Structure formats: C-alpha cells, structure tokens
C-alpha cells in the first residue's frame, strides 16, 4: 500500500501486462516492430537509472512481475489487460491464458481480463464464453486497430462489434477497455479514432467503457465524449508517466481530465512493464495544480481525488471491497512472502 503524507492509498493498478516478446515467439516482423516500439515508450519516459535492457524487456517473467508490482511497487492489486497479437507472436504476446498462469496463483491480487475480436465471428463468441466460464472475467481489453489478414482494424460501433457487446452484457462482462491512443507500429492510426466509442457507450448504458490512454492524440475528442456519457472512463496509462519527466504538463492534463471527464471516471494504470509503479506512483501522487490552474479549471487534484483514481474508481467498476481486501491482505501469500502484512493492519494509518 502506498502512503502519502501519512495516509494510506489503496492502489489498484488498472493496466498491467505479462508479455512474451522473446525472439522464439516472434513469427512476423510486426512482432519485432511492436516490442521495439514499446521499448521506445519505455526509455522515452523512464528515468535513466530505472531503464531495463532489451533482453529483460522482451520477457521478464512472472516472478519479477510480482516483485515489481507488490514488493517494490506499492501496488495492492493489478488488472491484467491482454494483448493477443496472435498474427505476430506464435503463442500470442500477452493473452488471457498466459496471464492466467500468474493470476490463478494469486487470485486475490489480480483481476484477469479477456478480449474479443468481432472479426472472429462465432468462434470469437465461443472464445468469449470460454473465458467467462473458465476465468469469470469481468472485463475485456480491445484493440480496434489490430491487424487480421487483410483487415487493418475494426470499429466498436459496427454491427459485428455490437453482437459481441451484447454478449458481454449478457455474460456480465461489464468493463470494456478499448485501446485508443498512441499509434503503435504497425497498427493503423485511424482505427484508433475515438468516435466509435460514443455510439457504443450510448447503446450499452449497462457497460462501462474505459478508454485507455485517454485517447491521445485525440484527447479533445475523448473529453467531448466522456463529458456527455457517464459510462465513459479514462485510463491514465501513457498519461501518467508525464508526471515523471514533464510534471507541469501532467498537472495541466489532470486539470483538463478532471474538468471534462471528472474525478469519478479516471483510472490509474502503470502499463507495466512499459513503466514501473515504484517510481511512477510517487510521481503521480506528488503532482499538484497551481492556484491559476485550480481557478481556471475549477477542480482540485487533492489527496481524496488521487485516492479515487488510484484505486477507488477501479474498485467500483470491478466490485472490489477495499476494506475487505485490506483485511485479507494482512495474511495472504504475497504479504507473507514480502513481509507486507503490517501495511494492512488496523493500526496502520487510515
């Protein structure tokens, strides 16, 4: 648990990965380009002394992940967001089944999300049903710009997509996380246009749409949608590391997001292993608005607001009882392994 000015902050990292970009797993040049691109994001926003070498970055493994998140990274729970990319990687890059190997060891610490691709048709529906059945998933991560054969992407508001969203609603998979944001080579930029979220969110009020990476480079389009739709949320992955190397820009962006999207609709995510929570969380928690920004936006980046996007908002979407979790973590396997039990005791600051 993170402690900020003597107060506990329960952290649910809303965006973590366990990927395999080892050379043996790459079957298409896109796979190599993809991990190289991820690595540029890593080095671009990571303090020099915290940067990983490329070999480690390709495949870091579950033991390191557990240490980086829970022992060193102040994280209490993590939400796995899969990235299939099965055309590029033999076994997939970061699939639900791969993530499950770790999530099932520590089920109390991880939320396991699935994914769907409407171009898979009936087979895709069956896949979604299997994920629900096998792992009881409550959310899906979607890449509307993923290549598949000749297709360079799909739209969330298409007829085929609506069939899958209906299936999600029927199965109780309530949290839809479309990746909308930075272009990832070799995925097409235009397929990351955020406009298709609007119609989908209006048509499925029972679902929550967490737009990952707050829509960059279309932050403005995303904000316009989020301000109108109460079931549209912003995932802060990619925006968060601004706090480390461009702290003023980060604060301004938080001013915008709090003004347009609102404090109840933002979710922190480290995007691990692109960035690591151990240095990222303090950078975000230390961010402050200037008096001018507070006046202009009419919002506060207070400890209460930070606690919301650091964990409470995700807890609401994923039916997590934070107090119950704290009791559980006094003596769960992770706390025993890393000696963290005292962090969750009653005597701890609250």
Cβ-based neighbours of 94, under 8 Å, separated by 6 or more: 17, 18, 19, 20, 82, 83, 84, 85
Q: Among residue numbers 44 through 83, which ones bind another protein (CB under 8 A)?
A: 44-45
Q: Is 121 in the site for another protein (CB under 8 A)?
A: no
241 vs 277, which CB is nearer to another protein? Answer: 241
Q: Is 40 in the site for another protein (CB under 8 A)?
A: yes
Residue 330 beta carbon to another protein: minimum distance, rounded to whole angstroms: 40
210 vs 219, which CB is nearer to another protein? Answer: 219
Under 8 Å between Cβ of 246 and 231: no
Cβ-based neighbours of 93, under 8 Å, separated by 6 or more: 19, 20, 21, 25, 31, 34, 83, 84, 85
137 vs 223, which CB is nearer to another protein? Answer: 223
Q: Among residue numbers 248 through 287, which ones bind another protein (CB under 8 A)?
A: 249, 252-253, 256, 259-260
Q: Among residue numbers 291 through 320, which ones bind another protein (CB under 8 A)?
A: 296
Q: Is 246 in the site for another protein (CB under 8 A)?
A: yes
Spell out the alpha helix ranges (H) of the chain: 29-45, 54-58, 61-66, 96-103, 121-135, 159-171, 195-203, 219-228, 242-245, 247-260, 277-285, 291-297, 303-307, 313-317, 322-329, 333-338
Residue 190 beta carbon to another protein: minimum distance, rounded to whole angstroms: 5
Cβ-based neighbours of 342, under 8 Å, separated by 6 or more: 348
Residue 149 beta carbon to another protein: minimum distance, rounded to whole angstroms: 14
12 vs 219, which CB is nearer to another protein? Answer: 219
The three-state secondary structure class of 93 is: coil
Q: Is 290 in the site for another protein (CB under 8 A)?
A: no
- In which element (H, E) is residue 309 found? none
| Residue matched to tokens 């979607």 | 142
Q: Is 190 in the site for another protein (CB under 8 A)?
A: yes
How many Cβ atoms are within 10 Å of 290's Cβ, its own excluded? 12
Q: What CA–CA distance (Å, rounded) separates 278 from 96?
A: 25
Q: Is 21 in the site for another protein (CB under 8 A)?
A: no
Q: Among residue numbers 140 through 159, which ones bind another protein (CB under 8 A)?
A: 152
Applying CB under 8 A, which part among 130-138, 155-163, 177-185, 325-333 lies near another protein?
177-185
Q: Is 107 in the site for another protein (CB under 8 A)?
A: no
Region of 215 please: left (phi>0), alpha (psi -120 to 50) or beta.
left
Binding residue (CB under 8 A) for another protein from 182, 282, 303, 341? 182
Q: Among residue numbers 204 through 243, which ones bind another protein (CB under 8 A)?
A: 216-220, 223, 238-239, 242
Q: Is 330 in the site for another protein (CB under 8 A)?
A: no
Point out which residues pair with 258 in neighbouring strands. Answer: none
Residue 44 beta carbon to another protein: minimum distance, rounded to whole angstroms: 4
Under rule CB under 8 A, how many of the chain's residues touch another protein?
Answer: 34
Which among 282, 235, 309, 312 has a CA at the least distance from the CA of 73?
282
Residues that bind another protein (CB under 8 A): 33, 36-37, 40-41, 43-45, 152, 182-186, 189-190, 216-220, 223, 238-239, 242, 245-246, 249, 252-253, 256, 259-260, 296
């Amino acid at each position: 648990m993170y402690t900020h000015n003597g107060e506990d902050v329960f952290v649910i990292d809303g965006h973590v990965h366990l990927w395999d970009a080892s050379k043996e797993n790459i079957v298409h040049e896109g796979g190599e380009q993809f991990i190289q691109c991820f690595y540029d994001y890593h080095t671009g926003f990571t303090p020099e002394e915290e940067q990983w070498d490329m070999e480690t970055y390709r495949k870091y493994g579950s033991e390191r992940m557990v240490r980086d998140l829970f022992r060193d990274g102040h994280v209490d729970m993590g939400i796995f967001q899969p990235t299939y990319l099965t055309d590029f990687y033999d076994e997939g890059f970061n699939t639900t089944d791969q993530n499950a190997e770790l999530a099932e060891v520590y089920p109390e610490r991880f939320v396991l999300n699935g994914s769907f691709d409407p171009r898979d048709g009936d087979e895709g529906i069956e896949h979604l049903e299997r994920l629900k059945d096998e792992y009881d998933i409550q959310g899906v991560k979607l890449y509307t710009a993923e290549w598949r054969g000749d297709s360079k992407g799909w739209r969330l508001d298409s007829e085929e997509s609506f069939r899958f969203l209906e299936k999600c609603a029927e199965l109780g998979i309530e949290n839809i996380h479309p990746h909308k944001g930075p272009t990832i080579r070799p995925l097409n930029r235009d397929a990351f246009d955020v406009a298709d979220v609007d119609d989908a969110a209006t048509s499925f009020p029972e679902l929550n749409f967490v737009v990952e990476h707050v829509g960059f480079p279309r932050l403005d389009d995303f904000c316009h949608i989020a301000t109108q739709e109460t079931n549209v949320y912003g995932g802060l992955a990619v925006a968060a590391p601004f706090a480390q190397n461009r702290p003023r820009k980060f604060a301004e962006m938080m001013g915008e997001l709090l003004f347009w999207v609102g404090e109840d609709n933002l979710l922190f995510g480290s995007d691990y292993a692109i960035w690591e929570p151990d240095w990222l969380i303090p950078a975000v928690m230390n961010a402050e608005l200037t008096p001018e920004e507070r006046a202009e936006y009419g919002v506060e980046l207070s400890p209460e607001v930070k606690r919301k996007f650091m964990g409470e908002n995700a807890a609401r979407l994923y039916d997590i009882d934070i107090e119950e979790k704290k009791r559980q973590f006094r003596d769960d396997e992770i706390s025993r392994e890393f000696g963290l039990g005292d962090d969750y005791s009653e005597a701890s600051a609250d």
